[in-house]
Amino acid sequence: DQQVKQNSPSLSVQEGRISILNCDYTNSMFDYFLWYKKYPAEGPTFLISISSIKDKNEDGRFTVFLNKSAKHLSLHIVPSQPGDSAVYFCAASALWNYGGSQGNLIFGKGTKLSVKP
Partner 1 sequence: GAGVSQSPSNKVTEKGKDVELRCDPISGHTALYWYRQRLGQGLEFLIYFQGNSAPDKSGLPSDRFSAERTGESVSTLTIQRTQQEDSAVYLCASSHNQGSETQYFGPGTRLLVL
Residues that bind partner 1 (CB under 8 A): 4, 6, 32, 34, 36, 41-46, 49, 51, 89, 91, 93, 95-96, 100-101, 103-110
SS3 11: strand
Nearest approach, Cβ of 34 to partner 1 (angstroms)? 7
Q: What angle do CA 33, 68, 92 make, to 5 degrees?
A: 20
Cis peptide before 82 (omega within 30 of 0): no
Shortest reach from residue 15's CB to partner 1, in Å: 27
At its nearest, how many Å lie between partner 1 and the CB of residue 59? 13
- The three-state secondary structure class of 83 is helix
The nearer residue to partner 1, 60 or 117, going by C-beta atoms, is 60
